[in-house]
Amino acid sequence: MLTVEGLRSRYGRIEVLHGVNLQVKPGEIVTVVGANGAGKTTLLKCLSGTQPVSGGSISFRGQSLASVPAHGRLKLGLAQSPEGRQIFSNLTVEENLRLGAFLYTDDRVAQDMGDAFAMFPVLKEKRNLPAGGLSGGQQQMLAIARALMGRPSCLLLDEPSMGLAPLLVAQIFEVVTSLRDRQVTVLLVEQNAYGALKIADRGYVMETGRITIAGPAGDLITDPRIREAYLGT
Ligand code: ATP
């Protein structure tokens, strides 16, 4: 579904991705774990088209994304739920969700909204309230629900567990797992390596702009190198 080969990206003269290779197959949950500053967010931005690429290639469902701008990628079915959620605080919950469906004007928008509320009942309760008043966990749910309103076949999730209390982290990872049932493929970037590897099919470890380890998530979780560096055991 998503193939990344030799991907390079830079901020000014400083290259931060030095030739990244990864693959996501249809229906998979794939995670990229790594420390703060490893380049995970930059990778997702390159995929969603909000960060320039200086080398290598990205293809999505067999099509090169080289000349496809960010909004065109969403049309193709590739959506991102960005780091820090970036919800519109002054707009209501429902208005935020409607923005996620900006590509569509058909009757299915109402149905998608109903699906979002079924998935996140708390958002239904608060649908007419400003999104800025939601708790951190609720805002994360809104960010995911808003991305789903764009009807993606592949969702890029940037650190959905960041800053959340453990109970909410578990809830968010459950939500990510449930995306399988909706036939949404997921690329999940996380610093919470244990939580991400527990729900993923496969994983990649990123260190200073390079993929250093790759494999089935179950193998990575027991890999001594990963246990020592990322799982604190
Ligand atoms: P985090 O979890 O903190 O977001 P990350 O793995 O997502 O970390 P990136 O945010 O992609 O890492 O950052 C990779 C490198 O690029 C870091 O060294 C960072 O300082 C640098 N960087 C990120 N954004 C910019 C920017 N806008 N301008 C210059 N350098 C940047």
pLDDT for 124: 96
CA of 209 to the centre of ligand 1 (A): 10
Atom of ligand 1 lying closest to residue 158 CA: 7
pLDDT for 185: 97
Q: 114 forms bridges with which residues in the sheet? A: none
Lowest-pLDDT range, 58-62, 154-158, 227-231? Answer: 227-231
Angle at 163 between CA 83 and CA 89, to 5 degrees: 60
Say which amino acid occupies 18. Answer: H
Confidence check: pLDDT of 60 > 90:
yes
pLDDT digits (tens, 9 = 90+) for 113-166: 999 999 999 999 999 999 999 998 899 999 999 999 999 999 999 999 988 888
CA of 18 to the centre of ligand 1 (A): 13
pLDDT digits (tens, 9 = 90+) for 70-126: 989 999 999 988 776 788 999 999 999 999 998 888 888 999 999 999 999 999 999
pLDDT class of 232 with cuts at 50, 70, 90:
low
> Which domains occur in the chain, in start order?
2-229 (3.40.50.300)
In this structure, is the dihedral angle defined by the CA atoms of residues 224, 226, 230 and 231, taken in order, positive or negative? Answer: negative
Asked if residues 82 and 150 have their Cβ atoms less than 8 Å apart, the reply is no
pLDDT digits (tens, 9 = 90+) for 165-216: 888 899 899 999 999 888 899 999 998 999 999 999 999 999 999 999 999 9
> What count of other Cβ atoms lies within 10 Å of the Cβ of residue 14?
7
* Percent of the chain residues past pLDDT 90, beyond the cut: 79
Q: Which of 8, 42, 43, 190 to mutate to test the pocket of ligand 1 (most atoms within 8 A of CB)?
A: 42
Distant-in-sequence, close-in-space partners of 210: CB < 8 Å, separation ≥ 6: 18, 19, 20
Token digits of residue 4: 């990344």
ipTM above 0.90, yes or no: yes
CA of 41 to the centre of ligand 1 (A): 7
pLDDT for 233: 59
Residue 218's φ and ψ, nearest 5 degrees, are: -60, -35
CA of 89 to the centre of ligand 1 (A): 25
pLDDT for 84: 67
pLDDT digits (tens, 9 = 90+) for 9-46: 999 999 999 999 999 999 999 999 998 899 999 999 99
pLDDT for 59: 97
